[in-house]
Amino acid sequence: MTRLLIMGPPGAGKGTQAELVAKRFGVPAISTGDIFRANIAASTPMGVEVQKYLDAGEYVPDSITNEMVRDRLNESDAAEGFLLDGYPRTLSQVEFLDGVLAESGTELDHVIELTVDVDEVVARLHKRAKEEGRTDDSEEVIRRRQEVYFEETAPLIAVYSDRGLVFKVDGMGMVEEVAARVADAVSRPPHG
């Protein structure tokens, strides 16, 4: 059973690593950002509602995000494990996730914190915005997303550190090298 979170600033390569690691451990990679973008692309009512937040680099309200994650975690493919990418991002999302997991008598195993050089991160984001034509990645928005991460989400690391769950992984280098480091961290027992 593998219940994982991957955290790190926007552009740390979370999405790529999440896919690789999830595949390796045979669990679904669940990216809240991807779910939002898919809803926006399909113009679902939820997508229409959340687009303004993504376009501004702000967080979608917890009321929308939490219910979406609960529904996704209750799907059968997540019963034996999952890797969450981009959730939780606020302290209240941490509490909500604790509650969802408690309902099924499970808990998190590992929290992977990807660490990167901030200049490198911003360069990666510019490159990705160009390649993918992402409307949520203008220069101003890229900066705002970094700020929001350090204000809102970095403090969550302390919460999970206190539980002995956090493994810091150097996110710099080749994708495969980083993936090997992440897999190594996931294979080790939690510190707790």
| Binding positions for ligand AMP, 50-89, rule CB under 6 A | 53-54, 57-60, 65, 86-87, 89
Task: State yes or no: 88 annotated in a binding site.
Answer: yes
Please give the angle made by the CA atoms of 13, 38 and 14, to the nearest 5 degrees.
10
Would you say 168 is a known binding-site residue?
A: no
**Helix, strand, or coil here: 131?**
helix
Give one word for 133, left, alpha or beta, with left for phi > 0 and alpha for psi -120 to 50.
left
Report the residue closest to ligand AMP, judged by CB.
33
Helix, strand, coil percent values for the chain (each to nearest 5): 60, 15, 30
In the annotated binding site, the residues are: 11-16, 32, 37, 58-60, 86-89, 93, 128, 134, 145, 173
Contacts with ligand AMP, residue ranges (CB under 6 A): 10, 31-33, 36, 53-54, 57-60, 65, 86-87, 89, 93, 145
In the annotated binding site for AMP, the residues are: 32, 37, 58-60, 86-89, 93, 134, 145
